[in-house]
Each structure stands twice: as C-alpha cells, then as structure tokens.
Structure 1
Amino acid sequence: MGNYSSLVEWENTVGEEFDRLEREGFIERVSVQPHVVSPLGVVPKAETGAPHIIIDMTMSGVNGATKDTVIALPMVRYAMRTMRPGCYMAKLDL
C-alpha cells in the first residue's frame, strides 16, 4: 500500500518537516531497504489547520513480518519475591 493522497497535497510542507526533524536529530536517513513501511498521511490540526503527519500503523504489516516468540512469564509470587524498593517495572506494547 502506498501513502495517502493527503501526503501529496502537503508534499512541500511534509518535506520541510522531515528536513527539520533530520537536522534536529529526531530522525535519520538509512541506507538499508526496510522490510515493512507504514503509509503516511496528513491530517489538519483542528485548532490551527496546520498539517499533522500521521503514520498509519494499522496498515503496516508489521505483525505479519515479525517472528512469533513464546515467552514464559514468571508467576506473580516469584516477581514479588525478587522485587525490592527502587526496582523498575516496565511494559512495552508495540
């Protein structure tokens, strides 16, 4: 799937924004061909009408390109025994 037509309508503005993000170190160009590319689009912000760049992750195919991995999670009582004050917990959902 290609990008949304709204991206073409805002092509210059989007290009300038990507240039700014690259200059400021938020994004970088890569020399490898990605396995999955999500389509881009633009939605005008409600308050100002300024363009808001979106990445449509629902159409990316990322899930189909990933390898299924079975992970055994420990029981809660084990986790409670090993956690101490100052421990960090995190949840990551891609």
Structure 2
Amino acid sequence: MFAIFLFVPARADAAFCKTGETVTLEGEIIIPPVIDGGEWFWPGKFAKRPCQVTTLRGKGTLPKECAVGKRMSLTGRVLDAGIVTLEVASIRCY
C-alpha cells in the first residue's frame, strides 16, 4: 500500500489579468486612495479576485461608501503600458 500526498498552498496570489479584458475585481479597502486632480488610484493588490492588476485607476468622484474597512467591487478594462492597470468604469463599495 502506498499514499500520494499533494501539497496545495492555502492561499496563492491570483494570476495577472489579461490585457484588453473587461473584468470585475473585488477586495477590501485597507488604505485611502491617492487622489490626483480628477483621478484616483489604489494599489491593485487590494483586489485579487478572479485575477490581479498592479494599479486600480479611476476618474471622477468616489462614492462616499468607499472608505477604509469597506469592501469594493470594480469593473473595468485591463491595460498594460508597462504596469498592468484596471481602468475602472464602475465601482461599488459596501
């Protein structure tokens, strides 16, 4: 009799999103965004499901619900200009 053991990591980082795809990412807000004029940015590591980007980037005013400790769901298009970025088209915080 023999046994085969497979070791699966408890938590692995998601693969990077594919350039040109429209995806919805989810995550928890653990720091406020950086706001520069009419644009805002977050590190992409906060939203890793189902794939990952380096930066979350959006334009306009963020909903007031988008505060530290809340969860967010962002939909947008993945761009790669040296940095994999989600150009956010819509955001929902809860």
| TM-score when normalising by structure 1 | 0.22
More strand as a share of residues: 2
More helix as a share of residues: 1
| TM-score when normalising by structure 2 | 0.22
Structure with the larger RCO, 1 or 2 (CA within 8 Å, 6+ apart): 2
